[in-house]
Amino acid sequence: MLDARYLRENLDTVEARLKSRGEGVNIALFRELDGRRRELLQQSETLKALRNKVTEEISRLKDKSQGDERKLQMREVSQQIKGIDESLKAVEEELQAFLLTVPNIPHPTTPLGKSELDNVVVRTWGDEPELNFAPKPHWEIGEQLGILDFERGAKLAGARFTLYRGAGARLERALINFMLDLHTEQHKYIEMLPPFMVNRECMTGTGQLPKFEEDLFHLEGVDFFLIPTAEVPVTNIHRGEILKGSELPISYVAHTPCFRKEAGSYGKDTRGLIRQHQFNKVELVKFTAPDRSYEELQILLGHAEEVLRRLNIRYRVVELCTGDIGFSSAKTFDIEVWLPGQNCYREISSCSCFEDFQARRAGIRFRPEEKAKPEFVHTLNGSGLAVGRTVVAVLENYQQADGSVLIPEALRPYMGGLERIS
């Protein structure tokens, strides 16, 4: 959410910069609501000041009957206040509803562009595997090895659900443990295991609501949502809190399943593990002081990249353009992993700086100094990594001519020493 006061004072700039996302802002609506709000607020507060004053006078009267006349007047005033406050509440709700649908302002360095076609490749790491045969897509490898069962996954739940079997299930679990150990032991993140369903406040805090409700699974009977990413519960850990400046940056890592309806992506990536309704992800989340956030973004990105380096899988880092960054993001780098079976790069991580956008929605602040005024923190997060897609990358990059798959060395300790799935 943008700061109403900032918006009031910088309407034109904000409008121009949101335009680069391909988003229009209803400036006239904002002006009107904001103006009406302040007008009503002043009316209400003036009357309340009067009432408080008279009320205090009444309380000081020794002869109680003397106050009767003023009580009658104040009854009138209270009625007026009530009426004004009702209008005020309505206006504030409208204003809030409006502000919650305005996306974040892209960082000035975020490349201008309309779609993913305008994203910028920042760097590429690693080599393509030398495969002197026609590489297969992971769904063929997985089915032939009997470690991925798409048909039975569909039987259990439906399309976009997969049953992992044997070494496949183990591989998923190995990757989760490998990533968590890397981030906690080497990168010094604190491991968290949050609830997998959250309330509406959390979803609003990180920006999924109110605009993207159709992408979320909602439970029947209770107002809970299944989390689409650990970003939601983990960022909301500090919702409504004032942190100490000295404890920043705070770095959390969490593995959770993620649940997404994938509405609007019918027919896309229908084969294999790429686009599932449920998938595992290891997520990195940081809370930082505003002046450190972009440094921390580079660090966080590096931590996510490190997973693929250790697995020795080729990837590239892409900087998303203004037209492609997410609703809450000011700047985003995607990590795209090379998939020989599909002869393309696929997103495996998305690392973003949200500046104070989520912090303002969720009320996450810090005191720079012991007695200083609280300021909003900056929040960041990135996948470190999407586990299902990492399985895809391992299967496709480590496949052998005979249909077996080598286990990357870094993973072998997590696979009970297994060197090859065959």
Binding residues vs RNA (CB under 7 A): 4-5, 38, 41-42, 44-46, 48-49, 51-56, 58-60, 67, 71, 74-75, 78, 82, 89, 242, 365, 370-371, 373-374
Closest CB 39 distance from RNA, rounded Å? 9
Closest CB 59 distance from RNA, rounded Å? 4
**Residue 280: burial class (beta carbons within 10 Å; 0-12, 13-18, 19+):** buried
- Residue 78: active-site member: no
Q: For RNA, give the closer residue by CB, 72 or 112.
A: 72
Closest CB 6 distance from RNA, rounded Å? 10
Q: For RNA, give the closer residue by CB, 9 or 295.
A: 9
Instruction: Identify the DSSP state of 98.
Output: H
H-helix or E-strand containing 140? Answer: helix 138-145
Q: For RNA, give the closer residue by CB, 49 or 190.
A: 49
The active-site residue, picked from 94, 213, 347, 375, is 347
If you count them, how many residues does the chain have?
422
Q: 365 forms bridges with which residues in the sheet?
A: 242, 376
The active-site residue, picked from 260, 360, 361, 365, is 260
User: Which amino acid would we find at residue 379?
Assistant: T
The active-site residue, picked from 37, 293, 389, 396, is 389
For 31, residues 6+ apart whose C-beta sits below 8 A from its C-beta are: 11
**Residue 374: burial class (beta carbons within 10 Å; 0-12, 13-18, 19+):** middle
Q: 350 forms bridges with which residues in the sheet?
A: 334
The active-site residue, picked from 173, 275, 310, 420, is 275
- Tokens encoding 313: 């899988």
Closest CB 7 distance from RNA, rounded Å? 11
Contact 129, 246 (CB under 8 A): no
Q: For RNA, give the closer residue by CB, 48 or 218.
A: 48
Q: 244 forms bridges with which residues in the sheet?
A: 367
- Tokens encoding 252: 């959390």
Closest CB 86 distance from RNA, rounded Å? 8
- Residue 365: active-site member: no
Q: For RNA, give the closer residue by CB, 185 or 370.
A: 370
- Residue 31: active-site member: no
- Residue 389: active-site member: yes
Using N-to-C axis directions, what is the helix angle for 387-397 and 293-311, rounded to 10°? 40
- Residue 260: active-site member: yes
The catalytic residues are: 260, 275, 347, 350, 389
